[in-house]
Structure 1
Amino acid sequence: MNERTGFTEELVERAPVVFFRRSAALDRITYISPNSDRVLGYPPFEIEATAGFWDGRVHEEDLRWYQRGLETLTDGEQTEGEYRFVRRGGVPIWLHCIEYAERDGAGALLGTLGYATDVTDRMTVLAVLRGAHAEMKGLNSDLTEARDAAETANRAKSEFLTGMSHEIRTPLNAILGYAQLLAMAGLGGEQREGVDEILKGGRHLLSLVGEVLDIARIEAGSLPLSMEPVSVQEICDECVALVRPLAWDNQLTITGPAVDDNRFLMADRQRVKQVLLNLLSNAIKYNRPRGSVELEVETEDGHVTINVVDTGMGIPRDKMAALFKPFERLGAEQTDIEGTGLGLALSRRLAEAMKGRITVSSRPGRGSTFSVRLEIVDAPAKTSTRARRPRAQGSHRELPERRIIYVEDNLSNLKLVERILERRPSIELHAALQGRLGLDLIRQHQPDLVLLDLNLADIDGLQVLDGLKAEPGTAAIPVVVISADATDKRVEQLRAAGARDYLTKPLDVARFLMVLDGILWPAGVEDVRQRPG
């Protein structure tokens, strides 16, 4: 028995727990275990001698909650909670307290029995965790705000760039359109040189707008890619053929690779072609007279690498880091070499969007090598040849008459199309300056083709298209949209709504006429079917 008692006393002495009894009035501790000095900082006689001693040591911020707990014991059986108790010297500790009511046979309160455990360490850890949680919550909130701000800025940038593109393309339509007509008019001497300069400057500005929009789309993650197996030999041969005249003009030799027909890379055909043409054009423009450009192909580790090797002046090592920065031309802007400073930046981003990369190596005075690395894929089971769009053959004066209605509220654009169609005397052109008027004219005259602008004064061009496709009498009439909105999303939207084709301003006159010929005279001059009425 003595051994058991001794064990219990030692356990109580060492534990971070004090046991106590409270008076019936709940204002005095009538008994507390001997270890109170160690746990609470006060010996038992000091605590037991003074009424209100315990209450006076409860932290002022927790006192109201503590008193509410005691009040529950007047008619309740138990109270439990955590509060701070101020030790001698003013240092608070956290106590987890449980008290039970003692009652006589009649239910009258005799006092309480309770125990208090020092949980300071646990509460300190909890406080740290709560602080960390609050900080994390704050960081998450900051990140969410930053993300929302970035998305808002991205949308604003996209809207600005789209608007800028539209505002620049619209006047360029008149500039380049009339310049193309003048170039077709057989001018000579200084007049022809002047027209060529207008075309060169206009196309340079158009290229700049297109490249800025492409970079913005890539950064926003909204650039659509049509990934497919692309023949390495076909794409290399096609690109070399396209830049060969430029190489000859610069007194350069250009050679393409001898490639195994079965090698294919995974890419968007138009975008990889854009990348290679940019690298080849640079290799030609920045080469030396009577130099050379070579296209080489390597296969390694499941990837195809296409190297564009030139014999130019090379790139100094200290300028390599700036090579792919937008608008950085490394001093070439002070020469007569044309360029926007966006080609390499855009090419690298396009390659990365196609899960590839572009690298460069250079030896000053000897030349540079730009390498495009993309994934290799198996050859498709069957490749189809790309069909050419049929064009009208023979004299355009022999073609059957056709009627076009052009819905356009910009007189400059309307006059330009009128001038272009002077080259197709068999076309009868009618204009509608408003969308609703256009719908009425189309219903009345049943044209062979509708040309449609999108930004009309009264209703959106898409509403006109929807109206035509919704009526049985006009649903079959082909509609070609002509717009300065060059965004892929808008093009897809209009095609899905039923547009036969989508031409962007400024108009490429030759392509515009080709599209019209293919729709109006799909079988050439042999098609002599006449329009009814």
Structure 2
Amino acid sequence: MPAQRTPDHPPSAGTRELSEAGRRSALLKAGALQNAILNSANFSIIATDEKGVIQIFNVGAEHMLGYRADEVIDQVSPSDLHDPMEVTARAVVLSTEQGTQIAPGFEALAFKASRGIEDIYELTYIRKDGSRFPAIVSITALRDDAAGLIGYLLIGTDNSARKLVEQQLNEAVAAAEKANLAKSDFLSSMSHELRTPLNAILGFAQLVESGTPALTPPQKRSIDQILKAGWYLLDLINEILDLALIESGKLSLSVEPVSLQEVLMECRSMVESQARQRSIGMAFPRLPAQSYVKADRTRLKQVLINLLFNAIKYNRPSGHVSVECAEPTPGTLRISVRDTGAGLTSEQVSQLFQPFNRLGQEGGKEEGTGIGLVVTQRLVALMGGEIGADSTQGVGSVFWVEMALASAPGLALEITAEPPRLEVADGAAMKTVLYVEDNPANLELVEQIIARRTNLRLLGAADASLGIEFARVYRPEVILMDINLPGMSGLDAMKVLRGDPDTAHIPIIALSANAVPRDIERGLEAGFFNYITKPIKVGQLMDAIDAALVISVQRIAGESPQDNT
């Protein structure tokens, strides 16, 4: 009778675990694994004892570092193969992070690994011949169940190729930035240089136009052409200068609450004459007096005027331009400029903000550069806003700008009760404070603050040129100066005042929304007596004015003023 066959059964889970453990044990004991590690030429594998003395130094380490294994085993630590200054720097950083003193040696390399944290660091290896190369090293603690910490394993790889690529990339970026900066500086310099002869051309042409005897019709046409070309060239220079300043990062903005109603009124007065010449009707919205947006006042005007001029220039005869305001989302105000021109195709709309792209208008009767909208877009972005356009052929276009809404400019510290007015003795001399500020709301705010002091009076100037003239005529005791002013900046105005013997002694306090620490440092380094940031703190402003008054009196009396810093 044939023997009965025992049916096959799959191994149990326990049996499978034992077999897998057996395979792992066999793998770990196999000489093949040890040989692979010790003979790997692509990675340096170094093992140390618990004190950090090298015990294993594989073929890859020999190739990378130039030492034979017998030259380092039981003799040196991996820290001896690194740049000692980098090892010391690592020890300092770790000591600061951990709040404990860490020795600048192997302890600095193994500190994290000794605490059970696998560590990867970048340091420079030094070969036997003294040459160096950057390396990435992973260090892990080796532990035994019975003995605990028995050493460390360091696996390193040559990082030269990646560092070379990084260096080449950084050099390429630096070269591109340098070239871009050089281009922008050149454009800026040339723009300024071109203004001088252009000023003479336009100035003398206007004198000839308005002089006597009256021009003959041919002469009048010639002068008109000179003036037309001259003013167009000036617009081109201004646009190139703005673009160069933006690209070089040198354009300084003062983003603060700006009254949109005031700005729109000023823009309307500047474009209405051109609209009348072309029989273009205009409509502006009625806004609440407290409609404020976060913007640089001068640059917001530039943006809106550019959009309005374009709406007039590219409109149909006897067309219409309307300005509309709405809140598309809470906290945001959209200002739209709508025209009744020929409109644009979807392809033209997609190309609107490309430099020097006039969308096929190069041969048209309207002059242009293709820069204006690019400058406008970048100015809006710098002020934290958005710009866009929608257009329908045969109907017209609408260009819109969205800006963040803002509260009316006020005091940083709310005043719950009206502070008492400080009275002065009869016959005491009034002191004059000159405030150079282009934002009427800010000027009014400071005027109300100064009005609480009966010994002070305030003069206001809307731009730097007028401020310089007022300073020379009225000789104020103190000058408050905004930094970002139309035309000449507050910094440049201060240099002019410092260079004039009649105004050099007057303390000048910067009053600006530029509150970045580096801006404040630059202002003080440039020579401002003090630098006050907006929103204004009444106490801080008045303390600064009082300190400046003391210095002003001392300077006028010929005394040596105390250090105000």
Structure 1 stretch 63-72 or stretch 180-189: which is displaced more? 63-72
Instruction: Tell me the CA shift for residue 174 of structure 1.
Output: 2.0
Which position in structure 1 is the counterpart of 2:325? Answer: 297
Letter in 1 for 2:173: R
1:377 maps to what in 2? Answer: 406
User: SS in structure 2 opposite 1:68?
Assistant: helix
What is the distance in 1 between the residues matched to 2:314 and 2:23? 89
2:560 aligns with none
Amino acid at match of 2:185: E
Deviations 1:84-141 (A, max 9, x none): xxxxxxxxxxxxxxxxxxxxxxxxxxxxxxxxx9x9xx88xx45xx35x545433432
Q: Which residue of 2 aligns with 1:25?
A: none
Change (3 A) 1:340 1:59: closer
- Residue in structure 2 matched with residue 66 of structure 1 by the alignment: 69
1:223 counterpart (251, 256, 259): 251
Question: Equivalents in 1 of 2:408, 2:302: separation in Å?
Answer: 22
SS in 2 for 1:224: coil
Quick one: structure 1 residues 257 and 61, their matched pair in 2 at CA, closer, same or farther if it must change by over 3 Å? same
Match of 2:28 in 1: 16
CA displacement at 1:64 relative to structure 2: 6.0
Question: 3-state SS of the aligned residue for 1:304?
Answer: strand
Whole-angstrom CA distance in 2 between matches of 1:202 and 1:285: 18
Distance 2:390 2:61 in 1: 73
- Please tell me whether residue 183 in structure 1 is matched to residue 209 in structure 2: yes
Which residue does the alignment assign to 1:154?
180
* Residue aligning to 1:262: 290
1:311 aligned residue: 340
For 2:252 and 2:313, locate their aligned partners in 1 and report how far apart those are by CA, in whole Å: 30
Map of 1:441 onto structure 2: none
For residues 435-454 of structure 1, what are the alpha-carbon distances to aligned partners after superposition, in whole Å with 9 as ceiling and x for unaligned? xxxxxxxxxxxxxxxxxxxx
Aligned-partner SS, 1:325? coil
Using the TM superposition, give the Cα deviation of residue 350 of structure 1 relative to its aligned residue in structure 2, in angstroms: 0.7
3-state secondary structure, aligned to 1:368: strand
- Tell me how far apart the structure 1 counterparts of residues 315 and 199 of structure 2 sit (CA, whole Å): 33
SS in 1 for 2:68: helix
Structure 2 CA distance for aligned equivalents of residues 12 and 203 of structure 1: 86
Deviations 1:393-437 (A, max 9, x none): xxxxxxxxxxxxxxxxxxxxxxxxxxxxxxxxxxxxxxxxxxxxx
Q: CA separation of 1:146/1:310 partners in 2, compared to 1, >3 Å: closer, same or farther? A: same
Partner of 2:384: 355
Residues 320-359 of structure 1 aligned to structure 2 (within 5 Å): 320-359=349-388
Matched, 1:250 2:262: no
Q: Which residue of 2 aligns with 1:195?
A: 223
Q: Is the 8 A contact 1:240 1:255 kept in 2?
A: no
Structure 2 counterpart of 1:372, which letter? V
Q: Partners of 2:24 and 2:310 in 1: how far apart?
A: 87
| Distance (Å, rounded) in 1 between the aligned partners of 2:350 and 2:306 | 19
Say which SS state the counterpart of residue 182 (structure 2) adopts: helix
Q: Deviations for 1:256-290, whole angstroms, at most 9, x for unmatched residues?
A: 11112111111111111111111111111111111
Q: Which amino acid aligns with 1:157?
A: K
Shift of 1:155: 3.0
Aligned to 1:485: none
Aligned residues: 319
Alpha-carbon contact 1:327-1:341 (below 8 Å) kept: yes
Residue 312 of structure 2 aligns with which residue?
284
1:173 partner letter: N
Residue 302 of structure 2 corresponds to 274
3-state SS in 2 of match to 1:334: coil
Amino acid at match of 1:160: F
Paired residue type of 1:156: A
Is the Cα–Cα contact under 8 Å of residues 260 and 292 in structure 2 kept in the other structure?
yes
Quote the offset at 1:199 in angstroms. Answer: 1.4
CA distance 1:240–1:144, shift in 2 (3 Å): same
The Cα offsets for residues 166-197 of structure 1, whole Å up to 9 and x where unpaired, read as: 33223212211211222331544332332222
**Mapped partners of 1:466, 1:380: distance in 2:** 28
TM-score (norm 2): 0.49
Cα drift, residue 143 of structure 1: 3.6
1:138 and 2:156 equivalent?
no
Judging changes above 3 Å, is the alpha-carbon distance between structure 1 residues 40 and 373 closer, same or farther for their aligned structure 2 residues? closer
Q: Residues of 2 paired with 1:176 and 1:256: CA distance?
A: 33
Larger relative contact order (Cα-Cα within 8 Å, sequence gap ≥ 6): 1
Distance 1:279 1:11, change over 3 A: closer
Q: Report the Cα offset of residue 148 of structure 1.
A: 2.2
Relative distance call for 1:465 and 1:280 in structure 2 (3 A) is closer
Q: Which residue of 2 aligns with 1:86?
A: none
RMSD of Structure 2 on Structure 1 (CA): 4.1
Alpha-carbon spacing, 1:388–1:191, altered in 2? closer, same or farther (3 Å): farther
Q: Structure 1 residues 169, 143: closer, same or farther in 2, change over 3 A?
A: same
8 Å Cα contact 1:235/1:273 also seen in 2: yes
Structure 1: gaps of 5 or more residues: 1-9, 18-34, 42-56, 73-116, 392-460, 478-488, 499-533
Alpha-carbon spacing, 1:156–1:16, altered in 2? closer, same or farther (3 Å): same
Contact 1:307 1:371 in 2 (8 A): yes
What percent of counterpart residues are identical?
39
Shift of 1:231: 1.2
Residue 291 of structure 1, CA deviation: 1.0
Deviation at 1:67, TM superposition (A): 4.0
Contact 2:188–2:245 (CA under 8 A) maintained in structure 1: no
Q: 1:13 to 1:143 in 2, by over 3 A?
A: closer
Note if contact 1:288-1:312 (Cα within 8 Å) is conserved in structure 2: yes
TM-score when scaled to structure 1? 0.52
> How many Å separate the matches in 2 of 1:316 and 1:350?
25
8 Å Cα contact 2:184-2:247 kept in structure 1: no
1:154 deviates by: 3.1
Task: Look up the SS of the partner of 2:288 in the other structure.
Answer: coil
The CA distance in 2 between the partners of 1:60 and 1:175, in whole Å, is 76
Report if aligned partners of 1:466, 1:497 keep a CA contact under 8 Å in 2.
Answer: no
Tell me the amino acid that sits aligned with residue 204 of structure 1. Y
Judge conservation of contact 1:255–1:293 (CA < 8 Å) in 2: yes
Q: Match for 1:257: what amino acid?
A: P
In structure 2, distance between residues paired with 1:291 and 1:209:
30
Contact map agreement 2:62 2:69 (CA 8 A) in 1? no
**Cα distance in 2 for residues equivalent to 1:331 and 1:174:** 34
* Contact 1:230–1:265 (Cα < 8 Å) also in 2: yes
Structure 2 residues not aligned, in runs of 5+: 1-21, 37-57, 76-149, 411-440, 445-459, 466-491, 507-518, 529-565
Secondary structure at the aligned position of 1:210 is classed as helix
What CA distance in whole angstroms lies between the structure 2 residues aligned with 1:181 and 1:336?
28
1:234 aligned to 2:298? Answer: no
Asked whether the equivalents of residues 465 and 497 of structure 1 are also in contact (C-alpha less than 8 Å), the reply is no
